[in-house]
Structure 1
């Protein structure tokens, strides 16, 4: 069984213009980092012209489809009947995207099949993580 889940999603970028542009994005989950999810935007969809990847808690995404959550760089909240809003805050500015809630829920369901909620600690390799942290220490 694969330990990585990737799902393409259609994100709608909220901008000052009245029409929201559709941009490709990818949600990813790796069982080796069981508490986190990643959302990547390809280079053509970013102001910098380079791929941008945000890493945040799976729990934040799961909670955000039901109620507004987050107080830091990533915030998630429901919007209307079938959308979830993700806000990404950086020094350069804020990006706000809408994603179909069904796509988010399908992704979360796949991650839960791979690593059940509440069992994430069983998938963490503390020894390997510690060795990586101390790799260059003399």
Structure 2
């Protein structure tokens, strides 16, 4: 494995019209998760971490029951991926280009293939972090 991380900048649409910059990243040392950061109107970034498996599932069918949910949609002849994010501070429905997200996921699979994440996960490091006093 030569690449340890992949980053992509995608434009999401809020309320179907307002563009929102987003930065997506995947790291080999955190093989189960994807991080997406969305730029707010105050030029601040809000970061969400969720499972790569959730994003994969959401490309084809509605997925997620918690704070992050994905579902494919087709509107105005465009294939999009709806991303719903919710917290005590608010709710947002963002639309992302389906193909761009699929390309990002393809790039993550070049780093670590789906289903092989556990081969690259350092359980001992996690235990050490959790038990650090």
TM-score, with length taken from structure 1? 0.88
Deviation for aligned residue 1:2 = 2.6
Partner of 2:48: 54
Deviation for aligned residue 1:50 = 3.0
Instruction: Extract unaligned runs of 5+ from structure 2.
Output: none
> What is the alpha-carbon distance in structure 2 between the residues aligned to residue 125 and residue 62 of structure 1?
23
Query: Which residue, 115, 118, 122 being the options, matches 2:119?
Result: 122
Partner of 1:29: 26
Moved more, 127-136 or 105-114: 127-136
Tell me the SS of whatever aligns to 1:82: strand
Tell me the SS of whatever aligns to 2:124: helix
Tell me the SS of whatever aligns to 2:95: strand
Asked if 1:131 is matched to 2:128, the reply is yes
Tell me the SS of whatever aligns to 2:91: strand
Instruction: Extract unaligned runs of 5+ from structure 1.
Output: none
Q: Deviations over 1:48-84 (max 9, x none)?
A: x532100001011111110111110000000104100
Deviation for aligned residue 1:46 = 4.4
Partner of 2:7: 6
The answer to whether the Cα contact below 8 Å between 1:46 and 1:52 also exists between their aligned partners in 2 is no
What is the aligned-residue RMSD (CA, Å)? 1.3
> What is the alpha-carbon distance in structure 2 between the residues aligned to residue 134 and residue 46 of structure 1?
38
